[in-house]
Structure 1
Amino acid sequence: MLPHLRGALLNASFLTLALVLGEFTVAQLLGFTPFVVWIYSVGGSQAQLSVAVSVLSLLVTWALLLSLAVFGGRSRTSAAKG
């Protein structure tokens, strides 16, 4: 089982690295501060604000994923038919 997972985990790691570096590079080239970097820099002077924004982004992400699961998924009857 583990030899089969090695390729998948390696590919997932490369894709994750490419996405993260791409987001950071594009934001820096356009003159924007990436969200995570902004939270970290604000955290040094205003810890409560960085925690509040982090929790808010977590809740927004959770709500978006929940709405995608509810509205974007196939219904059980159509999944059973085909």
Structure 2
Amino acid sequence: MSQYWPWFVAGGVIIAALAGYAGYLLWRLREQRRALEDAQRAQSAVGMVAPAAEVEPAQHRLGAEESIQVLARCYLDGQVGGSEAALRIA
């Protein structure tokens, strides 16, 4: 059993390093979400963001058509595969 202690120590160090990195990423994600929420609140306070109910169906449809065209171009250029393009269009 005494011959395995270096492996236990190495494993513990690796686990501690990965846990620390995961904590760091979680902290960064929370900061990013908080900044996004603050920016959305600031925009809505100024009146720049229209509620979803006010978006006209024609505008929504135009956005969908443009998105499909962009996805089709990406597929033809070979940037995305056929299955990914189909899933995104669906």
Fold equivalence (TM over 0.5): no
Question: TM-score scaled by structure 2?
Answer: 0.40
Higher Cα Rg, which structure: 2
Question: TM-score scaled by structure 1?
Answer: 0.43
